[in-house]
Structure 1
């Protein structure tokens, strides 16, 4: 992660520039927050678990023919994803 350009950091994930144009690396953090960030803890393994759950859900959606941003899991904490524009809800 040292040589990667950080694009965004949120409560649970960090997005880094990907290896190819149009891709990002999504890193899952162990941070847990509550009450609008007033309470913060680090839960060992949370990022690993969230990465695996995310991989499972997006693989299932892709098998059903629903396109997603997910390309593949890189390791226990990171995924390679397509850079997309978020649709505001």
Structure 2
């Protein structure tokens, strides 16, 4: 192996190592970035009231269902009703 080939090989190895180092730094910085987006949904609000407070245990109406007065929307578990 001649000195010219040794110098070419050494320079080639140094270039490859430098590229790997640069790409590693760029990749690490991109992985550490946090991208945040936010959105809002506009909809109509309807007040639904009950005489007792409690925890909702099941939902009987889904989004988009048509309901009429007196339909059951939610099932509640209420400590005040368990007496």
TM-score (norm 2): 0.26
Q: Which has the larger radius of gyration?
A: 2
* More strand per residue: 1
TM-score (norm 1): 0.25
* More helix per residue: 2
